[in-house]
C-alpha cells in the first residue's frame, strides 16, 4: 500500500505495521537501510511524487511517518534496520510542481511547517538518517545548504544521525 493510501486511514499503527513487515522482509535478504518515509508535505498536486507522501497536512504526515519509522527501527531502535526521513526540506512545494525546481518559502514556514515532521520523528522516534532534497532554497542547492543541514537540522532539531544525499543531488 502506498503512503497516500495509508494516510487515508489516519491510523499510524497501519503505517507502523507496514514498516515492520517491510523491515523483516528486507533484513531477511541483507538490507539494513530504507530510503523511506517521505516527510514531504505535498502542497502542489502537480508534483510528480505526491503519491509517495502522506499528504499535505503536517500533523498527518508527522504521525504516519513516525509510525513507519517505529515499525522499521523498532521501539528501542535496535531492529537492525534504519529508516531515512526525506526530503529535507520543502521539496513538495517546488515551483510549478516540478521535480528539482526551486522552493520559494521563507525560513519561518520551512522551520515551523516543513521541518516539523522531521523534528518530531527525531525526538519521538529516534530517526537515524535524513536525506536532503533536490530543490534549492534561496538559490542554494539543498545538498549544500549550511543553514538547512547544519543550523536547522543539526543545531535546532538536534539531529545527530547520518545525513545522506539523494542520488545525483550533489552533482
CB 101 within 8 A of CB 146: no
Contact, 100 vs 94, CB < 8 A? Answer: yes
Dist CA 100 CA 5 (whole Å): 25
Closest CA to 69 of 22, 10, 4: 22
- For 94, phi then psi, to 5°, come to -70, 155
Annotated catalytic residues are: 166
Amino acid at each position: 500500500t502506498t503512503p497516500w493510501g495509508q494516510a487515508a486511514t489516519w491510523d499510524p499503527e497501519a503505517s507502523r505495521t507496514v514498516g515492520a513487515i517491510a523491515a523483516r522482509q528486507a533484513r531477511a535478504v541483507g538490507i539494513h537501510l530504507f530510503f523511506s518515509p517521505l516527510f514531504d508535505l505535498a502542497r502542489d498536486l502537480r508534483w510528480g511524487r505526491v503519491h509517495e507522501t502522506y499528504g499535505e497536512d503536517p500533523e498527518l504526515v508527522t504521525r504516519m511517518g513516525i509510525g513507519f519509522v517505529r515499525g522499521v527501527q523498532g521501539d528501542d531502535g535496535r531492529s537492525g534496520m534504519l529508516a531515512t526521513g526525506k526530503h529535507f526540506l520543502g521539496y513538495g512545494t517546488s515551483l510549478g510542481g516540478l521535480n528539482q525546481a526551486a522552493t520559494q518559502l521563507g525560513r519561518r514556514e520551512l522551520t515551523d511547517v516543513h521541518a516539523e515532521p522531521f523534528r518530531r520523528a527525531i525526538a519521538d522516534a529516534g530517526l537515524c538518517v535524513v536525506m536532503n532534497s533536490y530543490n534549492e532554497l534561496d538559490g542554494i542547492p539543498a545538498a549544500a545548504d549550511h543553514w538547512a543541514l547544519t543550523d536547522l537540522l543539526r543545531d535546532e532539531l538536534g539531529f545527530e544521525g547520518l545525513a545522506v544525499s539523494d542520488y545525483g543531488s550533489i552533482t
